[in-house]
Amino acid sequence: MSDARTTDLYEVTMAMSYLREGMTAPATFSLFARDLPPGRGFLAAAGLESALDHLSGLLVGPDDAEAFADALHRPLRDLQPLLGLEFTGDVRAVPEGRTVLAGEPLLEVTAPLPEAQLVETYVLNQLNHRTTLASKAARCVLAAGGRPVVDFSLRRTHGTRSGFEAARAGAMAGFAGTSNVAAATALGIPAVGTMAHSYIEAFPTEEDAFRAFARAHPGPVTFLVDTYDTEEGVRTAARVLRDLGPAVHDAGSAVRLDSGDLGALARHARTLLDDADLPGVRITASGGLDEYAVDELVASGAPIDTYAVGTRVGVSADAPYLDTAYKMVEYDGRPVMKLSSAKVTAPAPKQVFRGPGYADVIALAGEPAPDGTEPLLETVMRDGRRTRPRATLAQCRDRLSADLAALPPEARRIREPVPPRASVSGQLGDLTARVRRALEERTSAAAGLP
Protein backbone atom coordinates (compact mmCIF):
# COMPACT_ATOMS: atom_id res chain seq x y z
CA MET A 1 0.00 0.00 0.00
CA SER A 2 1.18 3.48 -0.71
CA ASP A 3 -0.28 6.91 -1.22
CA ALA A 4 0.05 7.75 -4.89
CA ARG A 5 -1.27 11.22 -4.15
CA THR A 6 1.67 12.14 -1.99
CA THR A 7 3.34 13.68 -4.99
CA ASP A 8 3.89 16.97 -6.76
CA LEU A 9 1.17 17.63 -9.30
CA TYR A 10 3.68 17.98 -12.10
CA GLU A 11 4.62 14.32 -11.89
CA VAL A 12 1.01 13.62 -12.84
CA THR A 13 0.78 16.15 -15.67
CA MET A 14 4.03 14.81 -17.14
CA ALA A 15 2.96 11.18 -16.82
CA MET A 16 -0.33 12.00 -18.57
CA SER A 17 1.55 13.53 -21.47
CA TYR A 18 4.04 10.66 -21.71
CA LEU A 19 1.21 8.14 -21.86
CA ARG A 20 -0.62 10.19 -24.47
CA GLU A 21 2.50 10.32 -26.62
CA GLY A 22 3.28 6.65 -26.13
CA MET A 23 6.57 7.57 -24.45
CA THR A 24 6.88 4.51 -22.25
CA ALA A 25 10.42 3.48 -23.11
CA PRO A 26 12.74 2.92 -20.16
CA ALA A 27 14.20 5.97 -18.48
CA THR A 28 16.91 6.06 -15.86
CA PHE A 29 16.79 8.73 -13.15
CA SER A 30 19.69 9.29 -10.79
CA LEU A 31 19.26 10.66 -7.27
CA PHE A 32 22.29 12.39 -5.78
CA ALA A 33 23.38 15.36 -3.68
CA ARG A 34 24.94 18.03 -5.88
CA ASP A 35 27.03 19.31 -2.98
CA LEU A 36 27.35 18.60 0.71
CA PRO A 37 26.15 21.32 3.07
CA PRO A 38 28.88 23.25 4.90
CA GLY A 39 29.61 21.29 8.04
CA ARG A 40 29.33 17.87 6.44
CA GLY A 41 32.32 15.73 5.55
CA PHE A 42 30.16 12.83 4.32
CA LEU A 43 26.56 11.71 4.09
CA ALA A 44 25.13 8.59 5.72
CA ALA A 45 22.70 7.07 3.22
CA ALA A 46 19.23 6.39 4.63
CA GLY A 47 15.64 6.20 3.49
CA LEU A 48 16.09 3.49 0.90
CA GLU A 49 13.90 0.86 2.55
CA SER A 50 11.05 3.32 2.92
CA ALA A 51 11.43 4.43 -0.70
CA LEU A 52 11.32 0.79 -1.79
CA ASP A 53 8.17 0.28 0.29
CA HIS A 54 6.59 3.10 -1.67
CA LEU A 55 7.69 1.73 -5.02
CA SER A 56 6.60 -1.83 -4.34
CA GLY A 57 3.21 -0.67 -3.05
CA LEU A 58 2.52 2.02 -5.65
CA LEU A 59 -0.84 1.67 -7.35
CA VAL A 60 -2.86 4.51 -8.86
CA GLY A 61 -6.33 3.57 -7.68
CA PRO A 62 -9.72 5.11 -8.41
CA ASP A 63 -9.50 7.49 -5.46
CA ASP A 64 -6.11 8.68 -6.63
CA ALA A 65 -7.37 9.23 -10.17
CA GLU A 66 -10.26 11.21 -8.77
CA ALA A 67 -7.91 13.36 -6.69
CA PHE A 68 -5.75 13.98 -9.76
CA ALA A 69 -8.80 14.93 -11.81
CA ASP A 70 -9.97 17.31 -9.08
CA ALA A 71 -6.54 18.89 -8.79
CA LEU A 72 -6.38 19.42 -12.56
CA HIS A 73 -10.03 20.41 -13.03
CA ARG A 74 -10.28 17.68 -15.62
CA PRO A 75 -12.92 15.02 -16.17
CA LEU A 76 -12.12 11.69 -14.55
CA ARG A 77 -11.91 9.97 -17.94
CA ASP A 78 -8.79 12.02 -18.77
CA LEU A 79 -7.03 10.21 -15.93
CA GLN A 80 -8.06 6.77 -17.21
CA PRO A 81 -4.60 6.05 -18.72
CA LEU A 82 -2.99 6.43 -15.27
CA LEU A 83 -5.47 4.19 -13.50
CA GLY A 84 -3.88 0.95 -12.32
CA LEU A 85 -0.33 2.22 -12.84
CA GLU A 86 2.19 0.36 -10.72
CA PHE A 87 5.94 0.60 -10.46
CA THR A 88 7.47 -2.18 -12.57
CA GLY A 89 11.04 -0.95 -12.79
CA ASP A 90 14.49 -1.72 -11.45
CA VAL A 91 16.36 0.09 -8.71
CA ARG A 92 20.07 0.16 -8.00
CA ALA A 93 21.02 1.91 -4.80
CA VAL A 94 23.56 2.46 -2.05
CA PRO A 95 22.44 0.35 0.94
CA GLU A 96 21.31 2.28 4.01
CA GLY A 97 24.13 3.05 6.37
CA ARG A 98 26.83 3.38 3.71
CA THR A 99 28.48 6.77 3.40
CA VAL A 100 28.34 8.75 0.15
CA LEU A 101 29.86 11.94 -1.19
CA ALA A 102 28.74 14.83 -3.40
CA GLY A 103 27.73 13.77 -6.90
CA GLU A 104 27.50 10.09 -6.05
CA PRO A 105 24.15 8.50 -6.87
CA LEU A 106 22.29 7.31 -3.79
CA LEU A 107 19.78 5.56 -6.01
CA GLU A 108 19.04 4.99 -9.70
CA VAL A 109 15.61 4.08 -10.99
CA THR A 110 15.14 2.49 -14.40
CA ALA A 111 11.51 2.11 -15.43
CA PRO A 112 9.03 3.03 -18.15
CA LEU A 113 9.22 6.82 -18.27
CA PRO A 114 5.81 7.62 -16.71
CA GLU A 115 6.55 5.36 -13.73
CA ALA A 116 10.07 6.61 -13.20
CA GLN A 117 8.77 10.18 -13.27
CA LEU A 118 5.77 9.65 -11.04
CA VAL A 119 7.83 8.38 -8.09
CA GLU A 120 10.24 11.34 -8.04
CA THR A 121 8.71 13.38 -5.25
CA TYR A 122 8.20 10.57 -2.77
CA VAL A 123 11.60 8.97 -3.30
CA LEU A 124 13.39 12.32 -3.02
CA ASN A 125 11.49 13.13 0.15
CA GLN A 126 12.39 9.87 1.88
CA LEU A 127 16.07 9.80 0.95
CA ASN A 128 16.59 13.50 1.58
CA HIS A 129 14.95 13.52 5.00
CA ARG A 130 16.46 10.35 6.38
CA THR A 131 19.93 10.89 4.95
CA THR A 132 19.88 14.38 6.48
CA LEU A 133 19.05 12.98 9.92
CA ALA A 134 21.40 9.99 9.75
CA SER A 135 24.31 12.19 8.66
CA LYS A 136 23.71 14.57 11.56
CA ALA A 137 23.42 11.69 14.04
CA ALA A 138 26.61 10.09 12.74
CA ARG A 139 28.49 13.32 13.42
CA CYS A 140 27.26 13.26 17.03
CA VAL A 141 28.66 9.77 17.47
CA LEU A 142 32.00 10.89 16.02
CA ALA A 143 32.04 13.92 18.32
CA ALA A 144 31.36 11.82 21.40
CA GLY A 145 34.35 9.61 20.70
CA GLY A 146 32.90 6.43 22.13
CA ARG A 147 30.83 7.99 24.94
CA PRO A 148 27.14 7.08 24.75
CA VAL A 149 24.85 9.50 22.91
CA VAL A 150 21.08 9.42 23.36
CA ASP A 151 18.23 11.09 21.44
CA PHE A 152 15.92 13.57 23.22
CA SER A 153 14.56 15.27 20.09
CA LEU A 154 10.91 14.20 19.84
CA ARG A 155 9.42 17.38 21.27
CA ARG A 156 10.76 19.62 18.54
CA THR A 157 11.10 17.49 15.41
CA HIS A 158 9.01 18.30 12.34
CA GLY A 159 6.02 16.32 13.52
CA THR A 160 5.91 13.11 15.51
CA ARG A 161 6.66 10.91 12.51
CA SER A 162 9.88 12.81 11.95
CA GLY A 163 10.63 12.29 15.64
CA PHE A 164 10.38 8.57 15.04
CA GLU A 165 12.79 8.89 12.12
CA ALA A 166 15.19 10.94 14.22
CA ALA A 167 15.27 8.13 16.78
CA ARG A 168 15.83 5.60 14.02
CA ALA A 169 18.60 7.71 12.48
CA GLY A 170 20.26 7.93 15.88
CA ALA A 171 20.03 4.19 16.36
CA MET A 172 21.56 3.65 12.93
CA ALA A 173 24.42 5.97 13.87
CA GLY A 174 25.04 4.04 17.08
CA PHE A 175 23.15 6.06 19.70
CA ALA A 176 22.71 4.22 22.98
CA GLY A 177 19.01 5.06 23.31
CA THR A 178 16.10 7.41 22.72
CA SER A 179 13.56 9.14 24.92
CA ASN A 180 10.88 8.29 22.33
CA VAL A 181 8.86 5.38 23.69
CA ALA A 182 7.10 4.60 20.42
CA ALA A 183 10.39 4.48 18.55
CA ALA A 184 12.20 2.53 21.24
CA THR A 185 9.59 -0.21 21.38
CA ALA A 186 9.01 -0.37 17.62
CA LEU A 187 12.73 -0.44 16.80
CA GLY A 188 13.86 -2.53 19.74
CA ILE A 189 16.27 0.07 21.06
CA PRO A 190 16.73 1.25 24.65
CA ALA A 191 14.34 3.90 25.98
CA VAL A 192 15.87 6.50 28.28
CA GLY A 193 14.66 9.37 30.46
CA THR A 194 13.76 10.11 34.03
CA MET A 195 12.43 13.51 35.20
CA ALA A 196 11.80 17.12 34.16
CA HIS A 197 12.20 20.33 36.13
CA SER A 198 8.45 20.36 36.65
CA TYR A 199 8.78 17.12 38.58
CA ILE A 200 11.15 18.72 41.05
CA GLU A 201 8.92 21.78 41.32
CA ALA A 202 5.85 19.69 42.13
CA PHE A 203 7.41 18.58 45.43
CA PRO A 204 8.02 20.72 48.50
CA THR A 205 11.79 20.18 48.20
CA GLU A 206 14.26 18.81 45.67
CA GLU A 207 15.17 16.08 48.12
CA ASP A 208 11.53 15.07 48.46
CA ALA A 209 11.37 14.79 44.70
CA PHE A 210 14.46 12.59 44.43
CA ARG A 211 13.27 10.29 47.23
CA ALA A 212 9.81 9.98 45.71
CA PHE A 213 11.31 9.14 42.34
CA ALA A 214 13.42 6.38 43.85
CA ARG A 215 10.34 4.97 45.59
CA ALA A 216 8.52 4.68 42.26
CA HIS A 217 11.55 3.42 40.37
CA PRO A 218 13.70 0.83 42.11
CA GLY A 219 17.01 0.33 40.38
CA PRO A 220 19.31 2.92 38.84
CA VAL A 221 17.96 6.48 38.71
CA THR A 222 19.04 9.73 37.08
CA PHE A 223 18.41 12.86 39.14
CA LEU A 224 18.01 16.22 37.40
CA VAL A 225 20.05 18.59 39.54
CA ASP A 226 19.73 22.07 38.01
CA THR A 227 16.21 23.19 38.88
CA TYR A 228 17.24 25.66 41.61
CA ASP A 229 20.95 25.68 42.41
CA THR A 230 23.06 23.10 40.62
CA GLU A 231 25.73 22.60 43.30
CA GLU A 232 23.07 22.16 45.95
CA GLY A 233 21.24 19.81 43.59
CA VAL A 234 24.29 17.59 43.20
CA ARG A 235 24.83 17.49 46.97
CA THR A 236 21.22 16.54 47.51
CA ALA A 237 21.39 13.87 44.82
CA ALA A 238 24.55 12.47 46.39
CA ARG A 239 22.91 12.29 49.81
CA VAL A 240 19.87 10.47 48.45
CA LEU A 241 21.98 8.12 46.31
CA ARG A 242 24.16 7.17 49.27
CA ASP A 243 21.04 6.38 51.26
CA LEU A 244 19.79 4.20 48.40
CA GLY A 245 22.97 2.17 48.60
CA PRO A 246 25.40 0.71 46.06
CA ALA A 247 22.74 -1.51 44.46
CA VAL A 248 21.34 1.73 43.09
CA HIS A 249 24.23 4.17 42.87
CA ASP A 250 26.74 1.75 41.42
CA ALA A 251 24.27 0.26 38.94
CA GLY A 252 24.18 3.05 36.38
CA SER A 253 22.67 5.91 38.36
CA ALA A 254 23.49 9.43 37.24
CA VAL A 255 22.93 13.12 37.73
CA ARG A 256 21.74 15.18 34.77
CA LEU A 257 22.90 18.72 33.99
CA ASP A 258 20.54 20.55 31.62
CA SER A 259 21.65 24.20 31.65
CA GLY A 260 24.53 26.54 32.34
CA ASP A 261 28.23 25.94 31.65
CA LEU A 262 28.00 22.19 31.31
CA GLY A 263 31.76 21.60 31.30
CA ALA A 264 32.40 23.53 34.51
CA LEU A 265 29.30 22.14 36.20
CA ALA A 266 30.28 18.59 35.24
CA ARG A 267 33.75 19.04 36.71
CA HIS A 268 32.32 20.39 39.93
CA ALA A 269 29.69 17.66 40.08
CA ARG A 270 32.33 14.99 39.52
CA THR A 271 34.36 16.33 42.43
CA LEU A 272 31.33 16.45 44.70
CA LEU A 273 30.28 12.92 43.74
CA ASP A 274 33.79 11.54 44.19
CA ASP A 275 34.11 13.31 47.55
CA ALA A 276 30.83 11.69 48.54
CA ASP A 277 32.40 8.33 47.69
CA LEU A 278 30.14 7.91 44.69
CA PRO A 279 32.62 7.32 41.84
CA GLY A 280 30.14 5.03 40.12
CA VAL A 281 27.51 7.74 39.71
CA ARG A 282 27.61 9.05 36.16
CA ILE A 283 27.02 12.49 34.70
CA THR A 284 24.61 13.07 31.84
CA ALA A 285 24.55 16.38 29.98
CA SER A 286 21.65 17.75 27.95
CA GLY A 287 20.15 21.08 26.89
CA GLY A 288 20.59 22.32 23.35
CA LEU A 289 23.43 19.91 22.59
CA ASP A 290 24.56 18.99 19.11
CA GLU A 291 27.80 17.60 17.70
CA TYR A 292 29.52 20.98 17.88
CA ALA A 293 28.80 21.33 21.60
CA VAL A 294 29.66 17.69 22.29
CA ASP A 295 32.94 18.08 20.43
CA GLU A 296 33.89 21.09 22.54
CA LEU A 297 32.94 19.41 25.80
CA VAL A 298 34.90 16.27 24.91
CA ALA A 299 37.91 18.32 23.81
CA SER A 300 37.81 20.25 27.09
CA GLY A 301 38.02 17.01 29.04
CA ALA A 302 34.64 17.51 30.70
CA PRO A 303 33.82 14.45 32.83
CA ILE A 304 30.50 13.83 31.08
CA ASP A 305 29.58 10.17 30.64
CA THR A 306 26.47 10.45 28.45
CA TYR A 307 25.44 13.12 25.96
CA ALA A 308 21.73 13.65 25.34
CA VAL A 309 21.26 15.48 22.05
CA GLY A 310 17.93 16.98 21.13
CA THR A 311 16.29 19.50 18.88
CA ARG A 312 19.30 20.62 16.89
CA VAL A 313 20.07 17.04 15.97
CA GLY A 314 16.46 15.95 15.39
CA VAL A 315 15.95 18.76 12.86
CA SER A 316 19.58 18.83 11.67
CA ALA A 317 19.46 22.52 12.47
CA ASP A 318 22.64 23.63 10.70
CA ALA A 319 21.73 21.74 7.51
CA PRO A 320 18.04 20.79 7.58
CA TYR A 321 18.02 19.60 3.98
CA LEU A 322 20.36 18.38 1.28
CA ASP A 323 20.83 19.70 -2.22
CA THR A 324 19.47 16.48 -3.68
CA ALA A 325 18.29 16.08 -7.25
CA TYR A 326 16.49 13.33 -9.17
CA LYS A 327 17.67 13.77 -12.72
CA MET A 328 16.93 11.84 -15.88
CA VAL A 329 20.23 10.57 -17.22
CA GLU A 330 19.03 8.23 -19.97
CA TYR A 331 15.84 7.83 -21.96
CA ASP A 332 15.20 5.08 -24.50
CA GLY A 333 18.92 4.32 -24.69
CA ARG A 334 19.94 7.99 -25.21
CA PRO A 335 22.11 9.58 -22.51
CA VAL A 336 20.60 12.96 -21.53
CA MET A 337 21.69 15.91 -19.42
CA LYS A 338 20.69 19.43 -18.41
CA LEU A 339 22.87 22.32 -19.50
CA SER A 340 21.50 25.58 -18.16
CA SER A 341 23.24 27.65 -15.49
CA ALA A 342 25.32 25.92 -12.87
CA LYS A 343 23.13 22.86 -12.56
CA VAL A 344 24.83 20.70 -15.20
CA THR A 345 24.28 16.99 -14.63
CA ALA A 346 26.32 14.13 -16.04
CA PRO A 347 24.48 11.72 -18.35
CA ALA A 348 23.95 7.94 -18.25
CA PRO A 349 23.45 5.36 -15.47
CA LYS A 350 26.34 5.29 -13.03
CA GLN A 351 28.24 3.25 -10.51
CA VAL A 352 30.50 4.42 -7.72
CA PHE A 353 33.68 2.45 -7.03
CA ARG A 354 35.20 3.01 -3.62
CA GLY A 355 38.89 2.46 -3.13
CA PRO A 356 40.77 2.51 0.18
CA GLY A 357 40.64 5.88 1.98
CA TYR A 358 37.53 7.03 0.16
CA ALA A 359 39.25 7.15 -3.22
CA ASP A 360 35.86 7.13 -4.94
CA VAL A 361 35.38 7.02 -8.69
CA ILE A 362 32.04 7.86 -10.32
CA ALA A 363 31.86 5.73 -13.44
CA LEU A 364 29.41 4.47 -16.04
CA ALA A 365 27.25 1.66 -14.71
CA GLY A 366 28.76 -0.85 -17.11
CA GLU A 367 32.42 -0.21 -16.34
CA PRO A 368 34.45 -2.94 -14.64
CA ALA A 369 35.48 -2.25 -11.05
CA PRO A 370 39.05 -0.94 -10.81
CA ASP A 371 41.31 -3.24 -8.80
CA GLY A 372 40.92 -2.92 -5.06
CA THR A 373 37.60 -1.08 -5.21
CA GLU A 374 34.08 -2.08 -4.34
CA PRO A 375 30.88 -0.88 -6.04
CA LEU A 376 28.54 1.14 -3.78
CA LEU A 377 25.32 0.71 -5.77
CA GLU A 378 23.62 -2.68 -5.66
CA THR A 379 20.51 -3.96 -7.40
CA VAL A 380 17.76 -3.79 -4.79
CA MET A 381 14.62 -4.02 -6.96
CA ARG A 382 13.86 -5.73 -10.24
CA ASP A 383 10.55 -5.55 -12.11
CA GLY A 384 9.02 -3.69 -9.18
CA ARG A 385 9.96 -6.34 -6.61
CA ARG A 386 12.67 -6.26 -3.97
CA THR A 387 15.55 -8.56 -4.76
CA ARG A 388 16.43 -9.00 -1.10
CA PRO A 389 14.81 -8.75 2.34
CA ARG A 390 14.58 -5.38 4.04
CA ALA A 391 17.82 -4.38 5.70
CA THR A 392 17.59 -4.60 9.48
CA LEU A 393 18.51 -1.70 11.71
CA ALA A 394 21.50 -3.71 12.94
CA GLN A 395 22.75 -4.21 9.38
CA CYS A 396 22.49 -0.50 8.64
CA ARG A 397 24.26 0.34 11.89
CA ASP A 398 27.09 -2.06 11.15
CA ARG A 399 27.56 -0.64 7.64
CA LEU A 400 27.66 2.92 8.95
CA SER A 401 30.01 2.01 11.75
CA ALA A 402 32.43 0.40 9.30
CA ASP A 403 32.28 3.32 6.85
CA LEU A 404 32.76 5.88 9.63
CA ALA A 405 35.81 4.00 10.87
CA ALA A 406 37.37 4.31 7.41
CA LEU A 407 36.72 8.07 6.99
CA PRO A 408 39.78 10.22 6.42
CA PRO A 409 40.51 12.44 9.46
CA GLU A 410 39.59 15.69 7.69
CA ALA A 411 36.16 14.29 6.79
CA ARG A 412 35.53 13.10 10.37
CA ARG A 413 36.29 16.51 11.80
CA ILE A 414 33.31 18.26 13.43
CA ARG A 415 34.33 21.85 12.64
CA GLU A 416 34.99 22.65 8.99
CA PRO A 417 35.26 19.09 7.78
CA VAL A 418 36.69 18.55 4.31
CA PRO A 419 34.76 15.89 2.40
CA PRO A 420 36.70 13.66 0.03
CA ARG A 421 35.89 14.43 -3.61
CA ALA A 422 34.98 11.59 -5.91
CA SER A 423 36.78 11.56 -9.23
CA VAL A 424 35.08 10.84 -12.54
CA SER A 425 36.12 7.89 -14.70
CA GLY A 426 37.59 8.53 -18.10
CA GLN A 427 34.63 6.92 -19.82
CA LEU A 428 32.07 9.04 -17.93
CA GLY A 429 34.11 12.18 -18.56
CA ASP A 430 34.30 11.45 -22.29
CA LEU A 431 30.58 10.75 -22.54
CA THR A 432 29.70 13.93 -20.64
CA ALA A 433 31.85 16.01 -23.00
CA ARG A 434 30.31 14.38 -26.08
CA VAL A 435 26.70 14.86 -24.94
CA ARG A 436 27.41 18.44 -23.94
CA ARG A 437 28.95 19.20 -27.34
CA ALA A 438 26.01 17.65 -29.13
CA LEU A 439 23.58 19.70 -27.06
CA GLU A 440 25.47 22.94 -27.48
CA GLU A 441 25.64 22.42 -31.23
CA ARG A 442 21.90 22.41 -31.39
CA THR A 443 20.59 24.35 -28.41
CA SER A 444 16.94 23.77 -27.94
CA ALA A 445 17.38 20.75 -30.19
CA ALA A 446 17.87 17.07 -29.48
CA ALA A 447 18.99 16.16 -26.00
CA GLY A 448 20.84 13.04 -27.05
CA LEU A 449 23.77 11.79 -29.01
CA PRO A 450 23.58 12.06 -32.80
Binders of its own copies in range 121-150 (CB under 8 A): 121-122, 124-126, 128-129, 132-133
Q: Which is nearer to its own copies, 185 or 271 (CB)?
A: 185
- 287-306: contacts with its own copies (CB under 8 A): none
Binding residues for its own copies, rule CB under 8 A, total 117
* Inter-residue contact 140 to 296 (CB < 8 Å): no
215 binds its own copies (CB under 8 A): yes
Q: Of the candidates 77, 158, 388, 421, which one interacts with its own copies according to CB under 8 A?
A: 158
What does each C-alpha distance from 261 to 53, 228, 281 come to in angstroms? Answer: 45, 15, 20
At CA 99, angle to CA 97 and CA 105, rounded to 5? 105
Q: Of the candidates 62, 84, 145, 161, which one interacts with its own copies according to CB under 8 A?
A: 161
Instruction: Candidates 320-328, 383-391, 393-401, 414-422: pick the segment binding its own copies (CB under 8 A).
Output: 320-328
Please name every residue paired with 90 in a beta bridge, in sequence order, or none if there are none.
110
How many Å apart are CA 194 and CA 183, to the nearest integer? 17
Residues 6+ apart with CB under 8 A from 350: 30, 105, 108, 329, 362, 363, 364, 365, 377, 428
Total length of the chain: 450
Residue of 299, 318, 391 whose CA lies nearest to 95: 391
Q: Of the candidates 99, 110, 180, 373, which one interacts with its own copies according to CB under 8 A?
A: 180
For the CB of residue 326, give the shortest distance to its own copies in the complex, in Å: 8
447 binds its own copies (CB under 8 A): yes
266 binds its own copies (CB under 8 A): no
286 binds its own copies (CB under 8 A): no
- 52-91: contacts with its own copies (CB under 8 A): 67-68, 70-73
3-state SS, residue 71: helix
Q: Of the candidates 245, 279, 320, 370, which one interacts with its own copies according to CB under 8 A?
A: 320
What does each C-alpha distance from 243 to 214, 233, 247, 249, 324 come to in angstroms? Answer: 11, 15, 11, 9, 56
176 binds its own copies (CB under 8 A): no
Q: Which is nearer to its own copies, 123 or 352 (CB)?
A: 123
Q: Which is nearer to its own copies, 291 or 360 (CB)?
A: 291
- 362-391: contacts with its own copies (CB under 8 A): none
